Amino acid sequence: MTPLVLRAGRFSARAERRTVVASSALVVVALALGLLGLCYGAAWATPGEALAALAGQGDSVVVIREWRLPRVAAALVFGAALGVAGAVFQNLTRNALGSPDIIGLDAGAYTGALLVTVLLSGGAATLAAGSIAGGLLAATAIYLLSWKSGVSGLRLIIIGIAMNAILTALNSWIVLRAELEVAIAMTSWSAGSLNGVGWDDLTPGFTVLALLFLAMAALAHAMHQSVLGDEFAASTGVDLNVLRPLVVLVGVGCTATVTAVAGPIVFVALAAPQIGRRLAGAAGVPFVPAALTGAVLLLAADLAAQMLLAPTSLPVGVMTTAVGGTYFIWLLFKETKKS
Please tell me the distance from the alpha carbon of residue 238 to that of residue 233, in angstroms, as a whole number.
5
309, pLDDT greater than 70: yes
String of DSSP letters for 236-270: TT--HHHHHHHHHHHHHHHHHHHHHHH----SHHH
Mind listing the pLDDT tens digit for each residue in 59-78? 888 899 999 999 999 999 99
Cβ of 191: how many Cβ atoms within 10 Å?
A: 17
Please tell me the distance from the alpha carbon of residue 249 to that of residue 147, in angstroms, as a whole number.
18
Q: Which residue has the higher pLDDT, 21 or 235?
A: 21
Going 120 to 265 to 269 to 124, the CA torsion angle's sign is: negative
Cβ atoms 94, 283 nearer than 8 A: no
11, pLDDT greater than 60: no
Give the pairing type, strands 3-8 and 11-16: antiparallel
27, pLDDT greater than 90: yes
- 273: cis peptide before it, omega within 30°? no
Please tell me the distance from the alpha carbon of residue 278 to that of residue 226, in angstroms, as a whole number.
20
Quote the pLDDT of residue 314. Answer: 84
Please tell me the distance from the alpha carbon of residue 57 to that of residue 49, in angstroms, as a whole number.
8
E strand spans, 104-216:
none
Q: Is 278 helix (H, G, I), strand (E, B) or coil?
A: helix
Torsion of CA 263, 268, 273, 279, to 10 degrees: -140
Cβ atoms 158, 142 nearer than 8 A: no
Cβ atoms 307, 183 nearer than 8 A: no
Q: What is the DSSP letter of 65?
A: I
Residue 1, CA distances (Å) to 46, 66, 104, 224, 274 in order:
41, 45, 38, 19, 20
Phi (first) and psi of residue 151, to 5 degrees? -110, 120
Please tell me the distance from the alpha carbon of residue 191 to that of residue 197, in angstroms, as a whole number.
15
Q: Is 315 helix (H, G, I), strand (E, B) or coil?
A: coil
Cβ atoms 243, 219 nearer than 8 A: yes
332, pLDDT greater than 80: no
Quote the pLDDT of residue 290. Answer: 94
Averaged confidence pLDDT in the chain: 85
Which CATH code for domain 18-47+59-101+180-338?
1.10.3470.10
Q: 169 pLDDT band (50/70/90 cuts)?
A: very high
Average pLDDT over residues 178-196: 83
Residue 290 has, within 13 A of its CA and on its CB side, a CA count of: 31
pTM as predicted: 0.89
10, pLDDT greater than 70: no
Mind listing the pLDDT tens digit for each residue in 112-131? 988 888 888 767 778 888 88
Please tell me the distance from the alpha carbon of residue 38 to that of residue 69, in angstroms, as a whole number.
6
